[in-house]
Structure 1
Amino acid sequence: MPAEQPTILATSGGFRAGRRTSLEFGDLVRFAVELSGATGRPRLLHVGTANGDQRFFNAHLSEAGQLAGWDVAHLNLFTMPPVDDVASFVLEHDVVWVGGGSVANLLAVWRVHGLGPVLRRAWEAGVVLGGVSAGAICWYEGGVTDSFGPQLRVVRDGLGFLPYGSGVHLDSEPARRPAVHAAVGGGELPVTHCTDDGAGLLYRGVELVEAVAERDGAGACVVRPDGSGGVVEEALDVRRL
């Protein structure tokens, strides 16, 4: 059963260390599956382009899927896609979850394979789109990233499903907040939606519906230009999952 409206859950979280496995799905990924309305065994498609489709990580997520009672598949683009009809493959899943890593490399590889229009079609059809870090930034106009090195820079060629900027890991990396403020104040990014580690933002269509968290104390905020080169940061109410 597809989601009732186009749905995106953009996060700075989603996985946790397992007790008997390397990884388990955290509350944010579980919330994405809940949003999909899936019944029986939910079908989750993991896209690991941002970390180079590392097979060991795929294996960890497949193991987490067995533990959760979900069917987990992987859309590997290195060295080639796993199927001829990528669109049909994506559309047969309830949730697409995009992992972290280099958002700049992710966007470049996705363009080569024409994945952007495929994901838009899935989004409009009710497949829930989600992800962490690079897997969050990709849905927006752009965001702050360390894709190019330790000095944070701005990417502005995101898929643009959400007409905002993205700021991830706001509480755990000290350089993130000032970089977001500078990018928004200087006009490099539009109004930007930000998450601490363990927080996520839920969108229905392009409307921000709520902020949620899988970790106590994880916050979220909106950073807007103040019209004079500075910014205003507005904290959001966060619902603990």
Structure 2
Amino acid sequence: MPADAPTILATSGGYRHGDRTLEFGPLVTHAVDLAGATGTPRVCYVGTAGGDQAYRAAAMHEAARLAGVRLDVLQLFSMPNVEDVAGYVLDHDVVWVDGGSVANLLAVWRVHGLDDVMRRAWESGVVLAGVSAGSICWHRGGVTDSFGPDLRPVTNGLGLLPYDNGVHYDSEASRRPAVHRFVAEGLLGETYCTDDGVGLHYRGTELVGAVSETRGAAAWVVRPDGGHAVEDRLDTTLLPGAR
């Protein structure tokens, strides 16, 4: 059962370390809830940004088992693991995109036509979600370490959302000043940012709310203002199970 409008949950979180393995946090649960799935929810996990590492897919499978979610993996290295990539993606309630290199993700997706597939899925009511690179990718662009330890802007995102994006806003000291600098210089436009554990919920292209699985964490918007950057904190709602 698809969401009743194009939906994106762009996050800097979603995972917790359990006693023995990785577990899904409330942000992943929220993405599934937004899909309105009946029966066992189907989540398509995409690990392109991390190079489709087998150990990561195995950890995600175990997290999904514990959460009562069916998880299928879309791999693009060294070749797509399914014949019909578009049909595979569209046959899920949620697409969850993992972190890593957003620059590499965007390049590989475009080679395989996955940029168009993701737009089709979004328009069809599949909830698009993810963390870090899996957050920036849905926007026009954002701030990335894809090119090295010195943060740089990436400006060729899928552009489903007409904004830019900043992730890990509170946990990496260079992120906030980089966002402010790039916005002030006009390299990025209106930029929505998330502390670790926070997600941005978009309905269509409108931000309808920020949600958090971490107490005290927040979302922010940074806007250009006459050669400067102005930052405002956004109202953030705690999700059930937040810590």
Question: Residue 4 of structure 2 aligns to a residue in which SS?
Answer: coil
Partner of 2:141: 142
Q: Does 1:90 align with 2:94?
A: no
Question: Residue 121 of structure 2 aligns to a residue in which SS?
Answer: helix
Alpha-carbon RMSD: 0.6
Partner of 1:15: 15
Q: Which runs of 4+ in 1 moved over 2 A?
A: none
How do 1:192-207 residues align onto structure 2 when only pairs under 5 Å count? 192-207=191-206
How do 1:26-105 residues align onto structure 2 when only pairs under 5 Å count? 26-105=25-104
Q: Does 1:186 align with 2:168?
A: no
Partner of 1:153: 152
- The answer for unaligned runs of 5 or more in structure 2 is none
In structure 2, what is the Cα distance between the partners aligned to 1:189 and 1:96? Answer: 26
In structure 1, what is the Cα distance between the partners aligned to 2:69 and 2:229? Answer: 43
Question: Residue 163 of structure 2 aligns to a residue in which SS?
Answer: strand
In structure 2, what is the Cα distance between the partners aligned to 1:206 and 1:75? Answer: 26
Aligned match of 2:229 in 222, 228, 231? 231
In structure 1, what is the Cα distance between the partners aligned to 2:80 and 2:40? Answer: 24
For residues 174-207 of structure 1, the C-alpha deviation after alignment (integer angstroms, 9 at most, x for no partner) is 1000100011111101100000000000000000
For residues 199-236 of structure 1, the C-alpha deviation after alignment (integer angstroms, 9 at most, x for no partner) is 00000000000000000011111000112x11110100
In structure 1, what is the Cα distance between the partners aligned to 2:215 and 2:200? Answer: 15
Q: Which amino acid is 2:65 matched to?
A: Q
TM-score, normalised by the number of residues in structure 2: 0.97
For residues 138-161 of structure 1, the C-alpha deviation after alignment (integer angstroms, 9 at most, x for no partner) is 000000000011100000000000
In structure 1, what is the Cα distance between the partners aligned to 2:125 and 2:19? Answer: 33
Q: Which amino acid is 1:109 matched to?
A: V
In structure 2, what is the Cα distance between the partners aligned to 1:45 and 1:8? Answer: 14
In structure 2, what is the Cα distance between the partners aligned to 1:64 and 1:9? Answer: 19
In structure 2, what is the Cα distance between the partners aligned to 1:170 and 1:70? Answer: 29
Question: Residue 193 of structure 2 aligns to a residue in which SS?
Answer: strand
In structure 1, what is the Cα distance between the partners aligned to 2:229 and 2:141? Answer: 17
In structure 2, what is the Cα distance between the partners aligned to 1:41 and 1:203? Answer: 24
In structure 2, what is the Cα distance between the partners aligned to 1:134 and 1:66? Answer: 24
Question: Residue 163 of structure 1 aligns to a residue in which SS?
Answer: coil
Question: Residue 119 of structure 2 aligns to a residue in which SS?
Answer: helix
Question: Residue 80 of structure 2 aligns to a residue in which SS?
Answer: coil
For residues 72-130 of structure 1, the C-alpha deviation after alignment (integer angstroms, 9 at most, x for no partner) is 01111001111111010000000000000000000010010010000000000000000
Q: Which amino acid is 2:14 matched to?
A: G
Q: Which amino acid is 2:95 matched to?
A: V
Partner of 2:124: 125
In structure 2, what is the Cα distance between the partners aligned to 1:18 and 1:123? Answer: 31
Once the two structures are TM-superposed, the CA of residue 19 in structure 1 deviates from its matched residue by: 2.2
